[in-house]
Structure 1
Amino acid sequence: MTTEEPRRPRALWVLPTALVVAAGSVAGGLLVRDVYQRPAAVSSTGPASTPSSRPSTSVPRSAQPGDRAVRLSVDATLHPDGERVRGLLQRYFDAINTRDYQAWTGAVTSEFAGRLREPQWTSNYQTTSDGTVVVQRIDASSSERLRVMAGFVSVQDVAKAPAELPVDCIRWRVVYPVREEGGTLRVDIGPEGYTPQFEAC
């Protein structure tokens, strides 16, 4: 038997195995991307799950939620709308952190604002502090909309946490639908937004 013979059968299963692994990776990536706002923004029916990245691991528990400046990953920085998206999410999270409903409505679409009136919004976010916001990826979901994958940390009263995870510090992984309205980018709503990923800090 030559040294070449044992390699032939192996070559027959290497390609199918590689195809299965690649298909699994693509499916997993699509699953991770199909998530949006936290339940406090619009009613949620999705269960809690564990995100695949932890943007706050370098921040001690006592210092959560961390820096309030929104940051871009290398991938998001390279996107043509990267800086516009960063500015949008900075306004969005600043409004939440300062309890400024009017500023928040300036960062979301009119449809989104119409679904979350000031009394409910104030109740949802009255104890919330958000930080360690990192935009991981920006994709076009259509000719008019972007899908913005981001991770962040929230600290809040346990009573204001999701029912599925009643803790005071949560790491989130979400995908915000974004579109232009009134000449600026704004956070929108979408059916995919009902299943964010989150875990305790």
Structure 2
Amino acid sequence: MSAKPRWVLPVVLLAMIATVSAGIVARQLYFDPDSSPVAVLPSENQVPPDEQPGPATVEATKDAADHPLYDDLRGVLQAYFDAINTRNYDQWRHVVTAGRVKEEPERKWRESYESTRDGTIVMWRIETGANDSARVLLSFTSTQNEDKAPIELPLGCLRWRLIWAFVVEDGAWKIDVGETNFIPQHQGC
């Protein structure tokens, strides 16, 4: 058994401290605040009635924003809500699966969403599944003519909470059909 020189431990500790310090300095120098996701805090603050449905930009909690699929799924959701708000069926059908398009052909889609405006959109949580699938816990507010609201809650303003299924189809993430998509929780604004 050989004796180690006494200077090895202090040198190793000094090297470790220098490495950690250099990492902290580099992080501060190269940190770009514009590249980090903007997370919202869950809040009970409500958009005033005359400003419903609120902003149309998809936001996220920290939990959702920290998920590796956040950017991809947020982009799909933003395109989806933009399509509804601008009545752009072609844009909408590019971010949903073929099964979803089959269930909502253009005429039916236009009739369903002719008065709808969506806003105050928040991604709360993202969970990945098997075979390129994911689920997003989502909330948003919709305004619409009362005759276009769900039969069980015919109101002009609704707050929705639901889980949407996503799958990879044709090499891109898309919103899928699924039981969770059709069992939303909603209440009047």
In the superposition, the TM-score normalised over structure 1's length comes to 0.71
Q: For the residues of structure 1 that align with 2:170 and 2:122, how far apart are their CA atoms?
A: 26
**Number of matched residues?**
148
The DSSP-based 3-state class of the residue aligned with 2:57 is coil
Q: For the residues of structure 2 that align with 1:56 and 1:106, how far apart are their CA atoms?
A: 33
Q: For the residues of structure 2 that align with 1:63 and 1:182, how far apart are their CA atoms?
A: 38
Q: For the residues of structure 1 that align with 2:165 and 2:123, how far apart are their CA atoms?
A: 13
The residue number in structure 2 matching 1:138 is 126
Is residue 2:173 matched to residue 1:182?
no
CA RMSD of the aligned region, Å?
Answer: 1.4
Is residue 2:146 matched to residue 1:153?
no
Is residue 2:110 matched to residue 1:122?
yes
Q: Deviations over 1:123-168 (max 9, x none)?
A: 0000000001000000123232101110000000000001111110
The residue number in structure 1 matching 2:186 is 198
Q: Which of 64, 83, 89 is the matching residue for 2:77?
A: 89
Please list, as runs of the form range in 1=range in 2, the aligned pairs for 1:21-100 lying within 5 A after superposition: 57-100=45-88
Q: Which of 93, 101, 110 is the matching residue for 2:89?
A: 101
Task: Return the structure number with greater relative CO, CA threshold 8 A, min gap 6.
Answer: 1
Percentage identity across aligned positions?
A: 39
The residue number in structure 1 matching 2:16 is none
CA contact (8 A) 1:64 1:131 kept: yes
Gaps of at least 5 residues in structure 1 are: 1-53
CA contact (8 A) 2:162 2:180 kept: no
Q: For the residues of structure 2 that align with 1:109 and 1:160, how far apart are their CA atoms?
A: 24
Check 1:56–1:159 CA distance in 2 against 1; reply closer, same or farther (3 A cut).
Answer: farther
Structure showing greater Rg: 2
CA contact (8 A) 1:107 1:187 kept: yes
The DSSP-based 3-state class of the residue aligned with 1:94 is helix
Q: For the residues of structure 1 that align with 2:43 and 2:131, how far apart are their CA atoms?
A: 30
Q: For the residues of structure 2 that align with 1:56 and 1:90, how far apart are their CA atoms?
A: 23
In the superposition, the TM-score normalised over structure 2's length comes to 0.75
The DSSP-based 3-state class of the residue aligned with 2:153 is coil
Is residue 2:150 matched to residue 1:162?
yes
Gaps of at least 5 residues in structure 2 are: 1-41
- Residue identity opposite 1:96 in structure 2: I
The DSSP-based 3-state class of the residue aligned with 1:189 is coil
- Residue identity opposite 1:117 in structure 2: P
Check 1:108–1:117 CA distance in 2 against 1; reply closer, same or farther (3 A cut).
Answer: same
Q: Could you tell me how far 1:55 is from its partner in structure 2?
A: 6.3
Q: Deviations over 1:155-197 (max 9, x none)?
A: 0000000111111000000111001112211000112322100
Is residue 2:121 matched to residue 1:171?
no
CA contact (8 A) 1:158 1:166 kept: yes
Check 1:102–1:55 CA distance in 2 against 1; reply closer, same or farther (3 A cut).
Answer: farther
The residue number in structure 1 matching 2:13 is none
